[in-house]
Amino acid sequence: MDVQKLFERYNRKYFGGKLPPYTVEISNKYATSRCCKAKRTIYLNEKPEKMKVALLHEMAHTISRSGHGPGWRRQMARLQRLGAPIPKSEYQSYARRNKIDPCREYLEEIEGAAMDAPDLPIHELVQSFRYDKGFITIEGVAETASERRFLREALKVAKEARTLFEKKNHGA
Ligand SMILES: [Zn+2]
């Protein structure tokens, strides 16, 4: 399957040709498929029969924030309405999961951001994210115990994602 050609076809068909050029690679560089905005590269790590869905999934990421929040799900629903080969379960399961655990959605966004902006110091990244989500006051204080817990978790996830990213990029 020529995934690069497929990207170009889907771009014309479902995005009005407006997506910027991306390199599409079949690769096991990451544990799952991934869209790296910084490198304008989509890595597909998928069985052949799931390749098309995975590509469309990642293409939807190119024009929404990292993670599987409402912006990404809107894109997926739009693609599906246009007749793209996406089962509804591909994005509805994320909606259900995120409803049960909204923090998970934020953590995924942080994880993506840590890899998309590899030069931004982790603390700054999490800090800007905290303001963005309203988890801290203007003085930078988390007001409740659950917010503090979430922020600790966010810092941990971002650090792990960054370490993994650096290993993959500078290692063997
Ligand atoms: Zn995704």
Q: What is the mean pLDDT of each run of 10 residues along the chain (172 residues)?
A: 96 96 91 84 93 96 81 91 91 76 72 79 75 59 72 82 77 50
- Expressed in angstroms and rounded, the spacing between residue 159 Cα and the centre of ligand 1 is 19
- Expressed in angstroms and rounded, the spacing between residue 94 Cα and the centre of ligand 1 is 10
- Expressed in angstroms and rounded, the spacing between residue 73 Cα and the centre of ligand 1 is 10
Would you state the pLDDT for residue 172?
A: 44
Would you state the pLDDT for residue 62?
A: 92
CA atoms within 13 A on the CB side of 141: 3
- Expressed in angstroms and rounded, the spacing between residue 139 Cα and the centre of ligand 1 is 33
- Expressed in angstroms and rounded, the spacing between residue 68 Cα and the centre of ligand 1 is 6
Q: Would you state the structure tokens that stand for residue 61, as one six-digit string? A: 């990421």
Would you state the pLDDT for residue 31?
A: 73
Would you state the pLDDT for residue 114?
A: 80
| CA nearest to 157, candidates 106, 85, 88, 102 | 106
- Expressed in angstroms and rounded, the spacing between residue 146 Cα and the centre of ligand 1 is 26
The answer to whether 45 and 28 are in contact (CB under 8 A) is yes
Would you state the pLDDT for residue 144?
A: 73
E-state strands within 16-144:
23-26, 34-36, 41-44
- Helices 102-116 + 145-170 axis angle, to 10: 30
Query: Domain residue spans in the chain?
Result: 3-100, 102-170
- Expressed in angstroms and rounded, the spacing between residue 91 Cα and the centre of ligand 1 is 9
> Which CATH architecture describes the domain 3-100?
2-Layer Sandwich (3.30)
